[in-house]
Chains A and B, each alone.
Chain A
């Protein structure tokens, strides 16, 4: 059974977009839906992201095969040939089995016909109804007919039918009769659905629901998402950081962590994982905007900076930017002395009560405990991303979404479903003929007739040199008008198309449709927004302006050529380096898609740290991976072997392997996954003074010995972050807190009378692992926090091992005599020098392999075709490593699943006759896409790696390099027309 499969992705936020793009890039047809009238979810409301305070949303877009999608900022939306977008739509029912499901949806009435709306916003101007603007956290106003996201493209309005008074003013002004106030919801039924990705997110806790911290009474208490909008230029105050009550810049801002999280009282026994970092980022931006003397204080229980680079981010905020961190759960916010100010009472580090007044307070909210996972989620064939049950940072959500895509693809292939083989639509024969431009003047249902006639635009256009036909249609929004254009293109000689109509982005789908039907590439089509120019029809310059714009676009179109495209066969073999959980899961995921895998392991056995893992669940998971990998005929395992060299480009690599005897072989592959892993860090030398001082790993091993008797272990002191989270190893090892909790509870199980104390800096029980922390406290385990500069001291006196520290709850020093002092020494990566050198990928200062972008491309390296996952990239738990392995496999599959990859039209190409081989283009290319072919003596462009950024073309002293669609002669002509 090999049938075309369509996949439904529910939720068009970060996870949904990632998953939809993953599947679309593999050739599956995807239906991406969202209940909101705009896509993007939280993505559209974020300007900048930690831990680099930059934005890189667009890096999620396809890197090759870019002709299938539009290249623009993802805030505007997503346009991909294989993705059908359904907004204002919710799934109501799911039936059938994986491979053949029927999905029922309801599309809410929006009052506006999206096929007719041209985004002219006449309706919005006239609408008399104003309501709080949900996009800006209700800090501003919007109309009842509105655009959900201001960047949104196409910018078709929707009506908030609950707020609408049905006054009908918008209906009167709409030039395309797109508004229908009596529109009814529509039931949509999709049959023959292969599988479903559920990526609907967790929702955000709303403090107003339970009136935590007086959100209802104090205008200057805002949520962190509202603060994000206040910081944004597209926000309610145009990017000026002001407090809502009087719109003055705040001088003192407080952040209150864990609002709606880590609170079992409201059913929120979880950590929302990302809020700590978000608050640090916001504090840094507040200081950047308002000056470094702005006082920023973060009130927290534990600062959960558990990501690889997060601890340094916090340290810098604290030391260099003077963000104050106060460990205290705030009870309540009271009104301050002055209007709008807020009083917050807390206990400081020395135990003194403090009453502080702030201008503004930000509540760090995370997952909504009230949000229910839809009933149909358990239906077979539906796979949910982790972000449905946990609030998480972007990088984790992206990894989880790709891992889900991998599971879905595996489910489909085991049901015998593979993506349709896609061939690019054949180009029309006449495309190669000399340029002949068809200009289509759209009178927008007659409303532009007057402007077009008065200005004799058609006659003026004739003056532009070049072969040109001109036609006028009443509307290209209607199927009828578009059909007319299509017929003209099919029957006439024209091979270029210029619309003089309205918003370019409204036209994109139409251009794509026309391109598919007529065989004229969409790059040979363009749109000038005549409507917006005609709005100024009274101005005498309007004709000049219209003409100039038309001439600019016409000149570009006349100059466009078919870019020569190289196509490269792909070696359908993957190289996986490292046989731990990450590498094994990547290898198995690839093998499941019939990709041959060469698995290289430096040690004599595969399994990574399997021997040191005692957690039953993890042992079973990894044990199964090992067994499956050994059984999988497509996986060839080379143990005691290292990769010492790798050369070539994505799809066609050659790697050199060397075994422990020094024997070398060369293997050919198409993509590599680096999963070299890591392991336990040794205890610092000065802690080995007594055999009662052991590592957390040792205790775990001891307790898991068969017949272990813990009766004589009566007092145990755990100490967290030994060697971690301070220079030179200034990162959280991520596994220790949870491991300490589990080990401590195991000890309590073996010996309920055992006294256990845990000295910790910040308990990093993020996400659902918070429950273990809650359980451990309930079991009577004592937790004592300490700061980095006031570590508890271990003393050995006459055979007794004492731990001296300070308990801030008792507010006095404590001295504990212990049978065991258990040190959490953390994780370190395995040495990556050889592998990083071989694959020419960069590393972090801590010796991890650096990914292309920690948020948006977490498992890609800077080199296309080389991927990284698991401990090689940063500290992870075993289950997270497996997820990363799957995500990396899916990224590799984009390449390996194809037989060939052709260059996108918008890529660089070289005119060899005038190339002087100076190689400056090779040096400047940010994607390592250019190399010299020694046999041909030519500069070559790797069509997979090239992104068409044009740095090479600008650098080339001879103009030998050109960029498809941005050839220099076209740009120069456009400049000339613009100044004509």
Chain B
């Protein structure tokens, strides 16, 4: 279920989620009427392992204040271990985005299983809170937009 935040600052969040587990959890959060902030744009990926680092960089350069990645728990991946292979890439991606001036905390990876609707809601709310505390992305200041 989608609801609007009352705060003035509305961060823009891109969530890249795995089709199998996290997307199911997001769906479940929807059917169970678990509210999470509406300023999250969810993009379904087949697997976190399919997330090209350039998607994340693109999101930040286009003005995203945060990027959330949701995948299956280790061992649950439909493609055996795509989630773990993405995790291996995380350090490199964090290094790249910080070179562009974006704080590492603006990128978050979490494992959320298919039945974990409440965890999905909790993670979304928590991430939005973190980004709100951090303030807008430095993208504008860096004049990359």
Contact = CB atoms under 8 A, between A and B. Distances in A.
Given A54-B73, A72-B24, A151-B27, A951 B49 contact: yes
Contacts of A75: 24, 114-115
Given A862-B80, A950-B45, A975-B64, 10 more contacts: A55-B21, A72-B19, A76-B27, A151-B24, A233-B118, A238-B118, A552-B43, A966-B46, A971-B45, A971-B52
Given A926-B79, A951-B85, A974 B43 contact: yes
A233 B82 contact: no
B31 A951 contact: no
A562 to B, nearest CB: 19
A966 B50 contact: yes
Most chain B CB atoms below 10 A, which of A151, A232, A548, A927: A151
Nearest to B41: A978
B53 interface: yes
Contact of A979 (B14, B45, B52): B14
Interface string A941-973: 000000111110110000000010010100110
A536 B2 contact: yes
Nearest to A948: B46
A92 interface: no
A979 B54 contact: no
B103 interface: no
B91 to A, nearest CB: 15
Interface string B86-122: 1001000000000000000000000001111111000
A71 interface: yes
Most chain B CB atoms below 10 A, which of A548, A906, A978: A978
A238 to B, nearest CB: 4
19 contacts: A56-B78, A75-B24, A150-B31, A239-B116, A239-B119, A926-B80, A949-B50, A950-B46, A950-B49, A951-B85, A966-B45, A971-B52, A971-B55, A972-B58, A976-B58, A978-B41, A978-B43, A979-B12, A979-B64
A968 B47 CA distance: 14
B37 to A, nearest CB: 12
Contacts of A975: 14, 43, 55, 58-59, 62, 64
Nearest to A61: B78
A73 B50 contact: no
Interface residues of A, number: 55
Interface residues of B, number: 53
Nearest to B119: A233
B75 interface: yes
Contacts of B55: 968, 971-972, 975
Contacts of A59: 78
B43 A963 contact: no
B20 A968 contact: no
Given A238-B118, A979-B62, A73 B2 contact: no
A232 B114 CA distance: 10
Nearest to B38: A545
B32 interface: yes
Contacts of A150: 28, 31-32, 117
A399 B74 CA distance: 26
Interface string A228-253: 00001110001100000000000000
Contacts of B62: 975-976, 979
Contacts of B53: 954
Contact of A233 (B27, B52, B81, B113): B113
Interface in B7-56: 12, 14, 19-21, 23-25, 27-28, 30-32, 38, 41, 43, 45-47, 49-55
A52 interface: yes
Contacts of B133: none
Contacts of B20: 58, 72-73
Contacts of A545: 38
A596 interface: no
A951 B119 contact: no
Contacts of A976: 58, 62
A415 interface: no
A155 interface: yes
Nearest to B47: A949
Contacts, number: 156
Interface of A: 47, 52-56, 58-59, 71-73, 75-76, 121, 147, 150-151, 153, 155, 232-234, 238-239, 505, 532-533, 536, 539, 541, 545, 548, 552, 862, 906, 924, 926-927, 947-951, 953-954, 963, 966, 968, 971-972, 974-976, 978-979
Most chain B CB atoms below 10 A, which of A238, A505, A548: A238
B56 to A, nearest CB: 9
B81 A926 contact: yes
B70 to A, nearest CB: 13
A121 to B, nearest CB: 8
A47 B62 CA distance: 38
B83 to A, nearest CB: 10
Contacts of B3: 536
A73 B114 contact: yes
Contacts of B79: 926-927, 947, 949, 951
B52 to A, nearest CB: 5
Contacts of B75: 52-54
Nearest to A549: B41
Contacts of B2: 532-533, 536
A978 B14 contact: yes
Contacts of A55: 21, 73, 76, 113-114
Contacts of A953: 50, 52
Contacts of B73: 54-55
Contact of B24 (A53, A54, A73, A536): A73
Most chain A CB atoms below 10 A, which of B12, B79, B86, B116: B79
B46 A906 contact: yes
Nearest to A954: B52
A155 B31 contact: yes
**What are the 9 A-B residue pairs with the smallest beta carbon separation, nearest first?**
A950-B50, A949-B79, A978-B41, A54-B75, A73-B24, A233-B116, A234-B115, A979-B62, A926-B80
A541 B116 contact: no
A141 to B, nearest CB: 14
Most chain B CB atoms below 10 A, which of A54, A536, A954: A954
Contact of A951 (B47, B113, B114): B47
Contact of B54 (A71, A966, A972, A978): A972
Contacts of A926: 79-82
Given A232-B115, A975-B59, A951 B50 contact: yes
Given A71-B46, A978-B14, A151 B115 contact: yes
Nearest to A52: B75
B67 to A, nearest CB: 9
A54 B76 contact: yes
A975 B32 CA distance: 27
A109 B3 CA distance: 36
Contacts of B86: 954
A528 B119 CA distance: 25
A548 B24 CA distance: 22
Contact of B47 (A52, A950, A978): A950
A979 B53 CA distance: 17
A525 B117 CA distance: 27
Contacts of A533: 2
Contacts of A233: 25, 113, 115-119
Contacts of A950: 45-47, 49-50, 82
A949 B49 contact: yes
Contacts of A548: 41
B50 A954 contact: yes
Contacts of A536: 2-4, 38
A303 B20 CA distance: 34
Nearest to A852: B80
A927 B12 CA distance: 36
A548 B38 CA distance: 12
Contacts of A53: 75
Nearest to B80: A926
A862 B81 CA distance: 13
A284 to B, nearest CB: 14
